[in-house]
Amino acid sequence: MTAQLLDGKALAQRMQAELAQQVKVLQANHKRPPGLAVLMVGDNPASAAYVRNKERACTIVGIASYGKHFPADATQAELEQTIHELNQDDRVDGILVQLPLPAHLDSVALLNQIDPDKDADGLHPYNLGRLVRGEPGLRSCTPAGVMRLLEEYQIDLSGKQAVVIGRSLLVGKPIALLLLEADATVTIAHSRSHDLGAIARSADILIAAVGRQGLITPEMVKPGAVVVDVGINRITDATGKSRLVGDVDFEAVQPVAGYLTPVPGGVGAMTVTMLLHNTIWSYSQKFAGSVRLNSGT
């Protein structure tokens, strides 16, 4: 047996083509494109690469992107001022603060300043509260992307045992809540969990969101399980080339799992697409009543 790949890249491309069509209609109706502002602080090369991916994707679907690049020593007050201005700016529908920020900045305080209606990352307490309550709202992009990918492959979640490894605000916690919303039985495991192997092996749906290469070995996977790899680890391979790998030992797990996401080409591509989706959703909410898109999930 070999796992079927959950092809995030292909789905992302199909979705981006659909979003581009929607943007065309919206733009014709409302005389301006949806807008996304991305705040980045410092020169972390990984962050710079993600921000470039996001800006490229915006261009593909016709979203105007407003990049705000600050030096590594930018102050909290400067960033808060910029967020305040973007909150007021009618061209801007989505605001994203690229994380992580340099240590001297308080990212939680900053995220709290974003207008919840423009919170493209779904990280404002208001949107997280709506997620906890199971109400429609802006959802964090990676968790929403994982759910969309599972839906595309018609993976049945109801009553299934889902195990999420990792409890970050950006990924682990919101994914666990979305799986719960889809009627899965959800366990959140983390670095302090006893016998991680046994917990992981109980999963029908296993989500790895830690950021550690080789964390998920084949012994940790129930035969036939759905394995979603959210990890992003940049490594230098035996030939001296830099490449991305996830948290799952892909080659070793492929013969055991029923479904498996590749890295790259799995969850990462979906993350960017859900960011576009959220921005367009926020835009369409402003004109609610005229053209409505699907809910934010």
Ligand X SMILES: Nc1nc(=O)c2c([nH]1)NC[C@@H]1CN(c3ccc(C(=O)N[C@@H](CCC(=O)O)C(=O)O)cc3)C=[N+]21
Using an 8 Å Cβ cutoff, are 262 and 250 in contact?
A: yes
Across-strand partners of 244?
Answer: 234
Letters for 124-163 (x = contact with ligand X by CB under 6 A, - = none) are: -----------------xx---------------------
Q: Per the annotation, does 32 bind a ligand?
A: no
Q: Per the annotation, does 166 bind a ligand?
A: yes
Q: Does 261 bind ligand X (CB under 6 A)?
A: no
Structure tokens at 234: 């940049």
- Between the alpha carbon of residue 165 and those of residues 154, 201, 229, 231, 258, the distances in Å are 22, 12, 10, 10, 18
Give Cα 265 distance to the centre of its chain: 13
Contacts to ligand X from residues 5-24, by CB under 6 A = 9
Can you tell me which of 15, 74, 95, 97 binds ligand X, judged by CB under 6 A? 97
Quote the least distance from Cβ 198 to ligand X, whole Å. 29
Using an 8 Å Cβ cutoff, are 275 and 267 in contact?
A: no
The closest of 174, 90, 94 to 132, measured between CA atoms, is: 174
Q: Does 53 bind ligand X (CB under 6 A)?
A: yes
Can you tell me which of 101, 162, 269, 276 binds ligand X, judged by CB under 6 A? 269
Q: Does 229 bind ligand X (CB under 6 A)?
A: no
Q: Per the annotation, does 167 bind a ligand?
A: yes
Q: Does 79 bind ligand X (CB under 6 A)?
A: no
Give Cα 272 distance to the centre of its chain: 7
**Active-site annotation holds for 237:** no
**Active-site annotation holds for 241:** no
Measured from the CB atom, the residue of 4 and 29 that comes closer to ligand X is 4
**Active-site annotation holds for 121:** yes
Contacts to ligand X from residues 159-198, by CB under 6 A = none
Options 16, 54, 113, 173, the catalytic residue: 54
Can you tell me which of 264, 285, 291, 293 binds ligand X, judged by CB under 6 A? 264
Q: Does 232 bind ligand X (CB under 6 A)?
A: yes
Cα-flanking dihedrals φ and ψ of residue 45, to 5°? -65, -35
Letters for 105-124 (x = contact with ligand X by CB under 6 A, - = none) are: ----------------x---
Q: Does 96 bind ligand X (CB under 6 A)?
A: yes
Measured from the CB atom, the residue of 206 and 272 that comes closer to ligand X is 272
Quote the least distance from Cβ 166 to ligand X, whole Å. 13
Distance, CA of 218 to CA of 101 (rounded, Å): 35
Q: Per the annotation, does 224 bind a ligand?
A: no
Structure tokens at 153: 């492959």
Distance, CA of 214 to CA of 218 (rounded, Å): 10
Distance, CA of 224 to CA of 127 (rounded, Å): 34
Measured from the CB atom, the residue of 63 and 97 that comes closer to ligand X is 97
Residues that bind ligand X (CB under 6 A): 9, 49-50, 53, 96-99, 121, 141-142, 232, 244, 263-265, 268-269, 271-272
Numbered residues of the known binding site for NADP(+) = 166-168, 232
Which residues are marked as active site?
54, 98, 121
Annotated binding site: 166-168, 232
